[in-house]
């Protein structure tokens, strides 16, 4: 059973159209993503059509519509990382994880997100997984990281 979004809604008592984006952001901070139920509830609360909210939310890259994986990979596509070959990394990630940017794999282990510059250009190319940075990546390093995460997750799962 998911916790209720009502406490967040109560913070916006004016129920105005301009409350929409801050409200969605707060909800995503709390729940990690925007579900259909949440969007429908927000629509009823602010008297905005569900489709309108979905349109607004899909306009911004930062809103997600499914849960993130246990390991959320954020790949930097800033200029420096791009020059250093982050597109190859992205292709490799998409190939290995069998998901596209913005998606979560079937096991709920990995999710992938492409972000703009994270401000560590000297260490390009890099990814961030659950707050931990992996820098100066190559394809083999990337494979090692993914494998080690899979192993770690497996042991956690078994124990």
Partner 1 sequence: MDFQIAVNNSLVDVREGETLLTALRRQGIKVPTLCHMNRFSPTGACRLCVVEVEGKRDLITSCSYPVEKGMKVFTNTQRVIKARKLIVEMLLSNHPDDCLYCERNGNCELQWLADEMNVKERKFFAKKNPYFPDGSSTSVFRDPAKCVLCSRCVRICEETQLVTAIDFISRGNQMRVNSAFNKGLNVSSCINCGQCIMVCPTGALTDISHIEKVQAAIDKKKKEVLFFVSPSVTASLAEHYGLKPEKNLGELICAALKKIGADKVFDLGMASDINILGEAKQLALRIKNGAQGPLFSSCCPSWVKYVEEFRPELIPSLATTKSPQQIFGKLLKTWYTKQRKVMPDSLYSVAVMPCVGKKFEASREEMTHKGISEVDAVLTIRELMRMIRTNGIDLRNLEPVPFDEPFQGCSAAAWKLGYAGGKAEAVAQELFESMKTSDKETFKFIMPKNIAGRRESKLTIGKKTFGFAWVSGIEKANSYINQLIDQGRTDIHYVEVMACLEGCAGGGGQPINRLPEKPRNRKKICQDMEKINHWANASENSSLEKLNRSLKNSPDVDNPETYFHTHFQPREVLK
Q: Name the residue nearer to partner 1 (CB basis): 61 or 151.
A: 61
- How far lies 101's CA from each of 10, 55, 95, in Å? 33, 19, 11
Number of residues that bind partner 1 (CB under 8 A): 14
Question: Contact with partner 1 (CB under 8 A): which of 16, 51, 79, 130?
Answer: 51
3-state DSSP percent of the chain in helix, strand and coil, to 5: 50, 10, 35
Interacting span for partner 1 (CB under 8 A) from 11-19, 58-66, 89-97, 121-129: 58-66
For residues 122 and 113, give the distance between their C-alpha atoms in angstroms, rounded to a whole number: 21
DSSP 77: -
Interacting span for partner 1 (CB under 8 A) from 49-57, 74-82, 92-100, 104-112: 49-57
Which residues bind to partner 1, rule: CB under 8 A? 36, 39-40, 43, 49-52, 54-55, 58-60, 65
């Amino acid at each position: 059973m998911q916790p209720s979004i009502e406490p967040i809604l109560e913070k916006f008592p004016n129920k105005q159209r301009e409350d929409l984006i801050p409200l969605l952001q707060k909800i995503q901070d709390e729940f990690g993503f925007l579900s259909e139920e949440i969007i429908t509830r927000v629509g009823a609360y602010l008297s905005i059509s569900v489709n309108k909210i979905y349109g607004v939310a899909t306009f911004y890259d930062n809103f997600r519509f499914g849960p993130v994986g246990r390991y959320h990979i954020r790949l930097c596509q800033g200029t420096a990382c791009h020059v250093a070959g982050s597109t190859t990394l992205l292709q490799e990630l998409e190939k290995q994880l069998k998901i596209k940017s913005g998606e979560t794999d079937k096991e709920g282990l990995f999710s992938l997100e492409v972000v703009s510059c994270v401000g560590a250009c000297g260490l390009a190319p890099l990814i961030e997984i659950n707050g931990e940075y992996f820098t100066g990546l190559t394809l083999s390093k990337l494979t090692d990281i993914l494998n080690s995460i899979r192993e770690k997750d497996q042991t956690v799962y078994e124990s």
